[in-house]
A and B are shown apart, each in its own frame.
Chain A
């Protein structure tokens, strides 16, 4: 019965305002502007509060979604914040970058008849309300210290979540970060216009407010090994080191000047603020015509950064078709609206350089789709004799990342896969090494922010059980 929406329910979700594509293509301000109070209230009334709650199971950290939406509907914002934050330490981030369309929203009961409730937008609304009402918020109650110490390596989504949960249980947590700013991929990878850095830092500050000690500029494996941490007072270690090593294609010309890994390109722009050069000291080469190779979110982010840096033409070069593209539909659409040109079924053969060692073009093959491969997507096949040259002067390679080998190489007793990932139990995050847990991209390979957070959360529960002898 609950599946049958009453006639007064609007089957369309409330749109979220966004910056005009032609304007936003030239600034770094956030693209999506968020709901107003009225919009949020209106959207929240669409939730039918169905007893099956499929959305909760669809969320990797099991946020009590119908409850927080009900609190929004009742205009009880402190309650909405409390419900949201009890399961999710980083809601302002998740509300922006989670792929809700393949998680909570995909299974929403409303989706059978119309548009699913805009859970991500409401989550962002509640989190942003919270960030704007800090002074009225009551400080999170932290229980008395347990006397146990945990080291978290990496301050990305997995580490932040694990740290927050353990601190809330009274454990003393130290989080080590290699870079000069905490946040991991949230800081160096995802651009300002999609995830403002002040939002990330506000969430990091929240985690610190729980008593977590953040040690920046600390490359673990070099400054101290995992074993040294375990013998110098830490009772447990969580590895949340992510997947930070860029993959290249191994084609001729890849070491030419003007060829970037997406990691380098995005790190220069986001972490080092090269878009503000020379106010900031870190430079970046602003191409006139930029080709970004790959079809994921990182490729979209790189392309949209290139456009904002001032490139005339920016291409996404992807070897399959639009249907197989791994990027979120919304991000590909945003990119296209802003003027990014999609060169689909196109695969680079080599990058061509001038006599000074600079990129001056890229030779590509046309591709066609064959039979499905092991990933279930139709395999791209090279059309022989189809080579053509793209006139580009900067190439960004966004073909994925693998885990950094620094910790595996310096830690005895971990089990490492051929792909370089650390083997850990899916439920608990426990590795085969005594007192060491792992979660996020270092275990799964490059995945999503929320799945890393889910892994950090499960590992925190398992570490807590271990520390308290349960």
Chain B
């Protein structure tokens, strides 16, 4: 059991949990993920690390409530326990001095881009960050991102806050404005696809972090397989970071939809159970 030492709602549907995990916190690197199981009947879901503190012995996870597991997670309070927590899994992001880098975080993807931006800045890069969300209520960590970026651009799709539009628009402007050495984009698959398409004509190396469906997260099941440059890779052990220009996005989109029906059935059941409770 892993104790939740603090919990905060970043938005009405996005939760931030600080969890006790001393050994894990000492090993965590930017770009890696963990697998959690909320309770005894829970599924194993991957969450990319949003932060960690080796001194305190904690890790920070951010999740948006979309299905049964993330809603169950959102219902937990400080003092409650996660049934299981395992990691750090996957390969860390490549962190070195590239020059000028753009870090794009979309929606809940702002959380995992944060430690990457921080590590890239610490490695001596000029960091331009672009974070975006559908609307103001889904945006978080603007302050944190500001601290680790040389320049921060904020967008909302509906213009309810900051600049109206998609993250790809300022991304293109920055690519037009000067030499960019690397782009890292984390967010919904469709956002990562369009960021990759945006950078492609400029030939700027573009890294995306794939949030595939997983079971064990250690290379055992192959559930998270994707096609990169025509070769099948496992997101859990070969990634989660991949060259966005090489990813077969159609397969990535399709494979995310495998359990749409079951996910809905499961959520309906869970929500109907909750009604009687409170």
Contacts and interface: CB of A to CB of B under 8 A. Distances in A.
B89 A219 contact: yes
B227 A255 contact: yes
B251 interface: yes
B223 A264 contact: yes
Contacts of A279: 41
A217 B2 CA distance: 11
A278 B218 contact: no
A188 B219 CA distance: 14
A257 B255 contact: yes
A263 B220 contact: yes
A216 B84 contact: yes
B27 interface: yes
B126 interface: no
Given A272-B44, A406-B219, A178 B86 contact: yes
A261 B84 contact: no
Contacts of A223: 23-24, 27, 87-88
A357 interface: yes
Given A223-B24, A268-B215, A404-B218, A281 B42 contact: yes
B173 interface: no
A393 to B, nearest CB: 13
Nearest to A404: B219
A255 B220 contact: no
A344 B89 CA distance: 40
B41 A217 contact: no
Instruction: Label chain A's interface by main secondary structure.
Output: loop
Interface stretch (B4-12, B46-54, B177-185, B261-269): B261-269
Contacts of B237: 405-406
Contacts of A258: 258
Contacts of A222: 27, 87-89
B225 interface: yes
Contact of A255 (B69, B89, B225): B225
Interface string A337-359: 00000000000000000001110
Given A219-B89, A264-B215, A406-B237, A281 B41 contact: yes
A260 B277 CA distance: 37
A179 interface: yes
Contacts of A272: 43-44, 215
A278 B266 contact: yes
B87 to A, nearest CB: 7
Nearest to B41: A280
Given A223-B27, A257-B255, A283-B266, A264 B89 contact: no
A224 interface: yes
A281 B255 contact: no
B265 to A, nearest CB: 6
Interface string A1-37: 0000000000000000000000000000000000000
A220 to B, nearest CB: 10
Given A222-B27, A222-B87, A285-B258, A244 B219 contact: yes
Interface in A272-314: 272-273, 277-283, 285
Given A248-B222, A281-B69, A283-B259, A255 B41 contact: no
B176 interface: no
B222 A261 contact: yes
A219 B250 contact: no
Contacts of A217: 84-86
A215 B262 CA distance: 32
Given A246-B221, A261-B222, A272-B43, A178 B216 contact: yes
A105 interface: no
B86 A218 contact: yes
Interface string A212-232: 000011110011100000000
Contacts of B254: 256-257, 356-358
A272 B41 CA distance: 8
B62 interface: no
B3 interface: no
Interface in B17-62: 23-24, 27, 37, 41-44
A104 B205 CA distance: 60
Interface in A155-208: 178-180, 188
Contact of A246 (B43, B88, B222, B265): B222
Nearest to A224: B23
A342 B269 CA distance: 38
A240 to B, nearest CB: 15
A283 B220 contact: no
B83 interface: yes
Nearest to A281: B43
Contacts of A188: 216, 220
A232 B218 CA distance: 24
A434 B83 CA distance: 36
A248 B222 CA distance: 9
A267 B216 contact: yes
Most chain A beta-carbon neighbours within 10 Å: one of B43, B255, B269:
B43
A50 interface: no
A254 interface: yes
Nearest to A216: B84
Given A219-B218, A246-B221, A257-B258, A278 B87 contact: no
A217 B225 CA distance: 22
Contacts of A278: 262, 265-266, 269
A245 interface: yes
Contacts of B209: none
B232 interface: yes
A45 to B, nearest CB: 45
Contacts of A256: 254
Contacts of B220: 188, 244-246, 263, 267, 404
B226 interface: yes
B215 A267 contact: yes
B222 A263 contact: yes
19 contacts: A180-B84, A219-B86, A222-B87, A222-B88, A223-B27, A223-B87, A223-B88, A245-B219, A260-B223, A278-B266, A280-B41, A281-B42, A283-B259, A283-B266, A356-B254, A357-B250, A357-B257, A405-B219, A406-B237
Which 8 A-B residue pairs are closest in the complex by CB-CB distance?
A357-B254, A283-B262, A264-B221, A217-B86, A282-B43, A261-B222, A281-B43, A244-B220
Given A280-B43, A283-B262, A357-B254, 16 more contacts: A217-B86, A219-B86, A219-B87, A224-B23, A244-B218, A246-B221, A255-B226, A261-B221, A263-B221, A264-B215, A278-B269, A281-B42, A283-B266, A357-B255, A405-B219, A406-B219
